[in-house]
Amino acid sequence: MLKQWNTTRCLLAVVLAGLLISLFFSVQRHQVEERSRQTEIMMEYEALVKLADAEGKPVADVLAQFRQAGVTSLAVYETTLEKLAHKGVLTPVTGADLHHAVRAGTLSDPIWRQLVNEGRIKKDYLYIAGEDDRTFREVEQDLKLRLGAGRVARLEGLNRPVLAVQGTAELLLSLHLGLLSDDMQAVTNSGFKLMARPSNFVAVNKEQVEATFRRIEAAAGGQVSSVLFSGDQTLGFPGELDTVAAELNRLGWTLAMTEHPLQLQFDKQDGLLELAKKVNYRVARLYVIDKAEQKKMTVKEGIHRWAVTDEERNIRVNFLRPFEKPTPGETSLETTLVYVNGVRESLEDRGFKVGPAGLFAPFFPSRLLLALPLFGAAAAVVLYLSLLVPLTRAQALALTAAGGAALFVPVLLGGGLLMRQVAALASACVIPALTMNFMLSRWEKRQATGGTLLRICRDGIGELALAILLSLAGGAYISGLLGDVRFLLEMDIYRGVKLTFLAPILLVLLVYLKRYNVLHAGAPGGLWRQLQEMLNYPVRIVTLGGFGALALVAWVFIGRSGHTAGVPVPAFEVKLRAFLEQVMIARPREKEFMIGHPAFFVAIMAVYRNWPRAVHLLFVLGATIGQGSLVQTFAHMRTPVVMSAIRAADGYLAALPFGIAAVIGMQMLVYLSNLLGRRLAQDE
């Protein structure tokens, strides 16, 4: 420890000051989160039309049923010639087909035959016939915007409007055109808000962007809830993002961003994050259940998924799909209506309002006030270093000042995002280690009296609560340092999730080796000496087996962290998670209530029973898993800060029966071991 107690208290005061400011930022963040608790329930207009057609119901009646069930907005996609032909709105035919029909004598219209004979019908063109209405005119406009006016022309001398379009039918029939005004007005006239889903143009220009917004504005007016771009690029990428942003800002429309299937940031779309900044973060996070996954779900499971998703991941647009597999005894329409109604009711039960997506205010913490959490993080690191290396008062203060300045100066100059992430990572790793060191100091004062099971459980309940409160300071630091709108929307993320799981264990291991002689009884042998002895320790089959077991635990422990597809989750654990989500406000993490916190109980038992240091170390490291996990929970900035705190509390409550069971189980193992030992002695 630091040789000057006043220096230790000074560093702790800096840590405490940083904690208070972090809590202040967390309160501000909570207020921002609470003001955005309105969720949009959205479906596809075309999907509901297909559902109505499949069951022989009038489209207007089906739309009215879904509006009553809770759907607030409908998405309209761009059309294609293929879709319009399927609906019978337009009739596309290739020039080659017209030539074939003339030669075969099957083309009855004399005007068409005359055009073919005069050579005015070209074989490599597509000809589009229709009625002279708004849809036909919009298709003509869209084709000119997409292809250029030189490749699209009207044929003269016919009794109906016909477009001649240069290009192969295969490409033209699937070419994205624009959003049709008739579709958009059908949505708004039915009482829904419109979610517009335009796509980008090849070599996009300002005229194309402005034409897209003009049509949407003219058709839907003030009834547009949001815009969700289709394809792998936003409209306007790369050169016209400023034009798109100007239109969105002028109209006040929300930019929707689809969460990635692995729940880490968003589906990749070029220009999306840049555009979000240009619209001053007027953004709503959107989630849609994967089609393959929904097929395996029951309606009840789907409803529960949405309630948890909106509560825990700041989702504000729920993109619902119809249930293709209906509940027995119901039609697909009836099942989907039950599903939508259930989603709405579950959201309202959790305090959400249903309507246009709630938005997060463009909240950013004060750069000047960030100085205290940044210096506090540096002070926490220096406190930890003092546990391993003797530091004078001057050295400790100098390290704190230098580290804090290195973190704060870039922030003061207007940047420093990386420095804030570094400070958050350091806090998440070091504070759980300091917590466990504090607990070791408390346990040193206890004598190995044997301790009754009742006393061990009582102390475990109280001291685990104390350890959690101390470790939560690390969570508060993460929340305060990263608590701005970019992290709430997950445009920026906490870096080093897996390191946050592993580093506290390694840090506590070093502290433990510094404090105690693990391999030999007596006074500590020094950190580096013990490390050398451990590396030179004789390897036996039992030792290899132990390392193999630890490697397996590490593989599961690290592989199950983060968002990447790693260690699979067994079926029983899936059921346990579902149960906990039903009975608790925030489902606690298994690493806490099934591993870390029960190990904390057994670590106390090891103190009272004077078990070997190596055994005690094993359970201390296990307890560190729980402390690191609850701090890491706060790294998921999309989760409301209050929900993360509740998750830690629920983890504590869920751990109590597991901790007590672990103590009783260890006592039974001790009895069994003693019994077997006596029998072996008698046999000899």
- Token duo for residue 210: 């402005």
pLDDT value of residue 313: 86
Specify the pLDDT at position 426: 94
On whether the CB atoms of residues 480 and 27 are closer than 8 A, the answer is: no
Place of tokens 């309940």: 461
| H/E element, 91 | strand 91-94
Maximum C-alpha span of the chain: 115
Give the distance from CA 339 to its chain's centroid: 23
List CB contacts of 4: < 8 A, sequence separation 6 or more. 392, 393
* Burial of 393 from C-beta contacts in 10 A (0-12 / 13-18 / 19+): middle
Q: At what angle do helices 134-147 and 206-220 cross, to 10 degrees?
A: 160
Mean pLDDT of residues grouped by 10 in the chain (684 residues)?
61 93 93 90 94 91 94 94 90 86 78 80 87 89 92 82 89 92 94 94 93 93 91 93 95 92 81 93 92 87 86 90 86 92 92 90 90 95 91 87 93 88 94 94 79 88 95 93 88 81 91 79 58 58 50 55 52 63 72 88 89 86 92 87 89 91 86 65 52
Find out whether 26 and 57 touch, Cβ atoms under 8 Å: no
The 3 state secondary structure assigned to 418-466 is HHHHHHHHHHHHHHHHHHHHHHHHHHHCCCCCCCCHHHHHHHHHHHHHH
For the chain, list the domains and their CATH numbers.
37-78+178-354 (3.20.20.370), 82-174 (no CATH), 429-683 (no CATH)
State how beta strands 283-288 and 315-319 pair: parallel
What one-character DSSP code corresponds to residue 259?
B
Q: Enumerate the β-bridge partners of residue 257.
A: 285
Phi–psi pair at 512, nearest 5 degrees: -65, -45
**What is d(CA 37, CA 54) in angstroms, rounded to the nearest whole number?**
36
Q: To which residue do tokens 């647009």 refer? A: 317
* pLDDT given at position 527: 61
**How far from 332 is each of 50, 89, 115, 291, CA to CA, in Å?**
11, 27, 49, 15
Q: How many residues does the chain have?
A: 684
Q: What is the pLDDT of residues 349-404, one digit of tens each?
A: 888 999 999 998 888 989 999 999 999 999 999 999 998 888 888 888 899 999 99
Residue 310 is classified by DSSP as: H
pLDDT at 102: 81
Helices (H), 35-168: 45-54, 59-69, 81-87, 95-104, 110-117, 134-147
The pLDDT of residue 522: 54
Q: Which residues contact 663 (CB under 8 A, 6 or more apart)?
A: 453, 456, 457, 460, 601, 602, 605
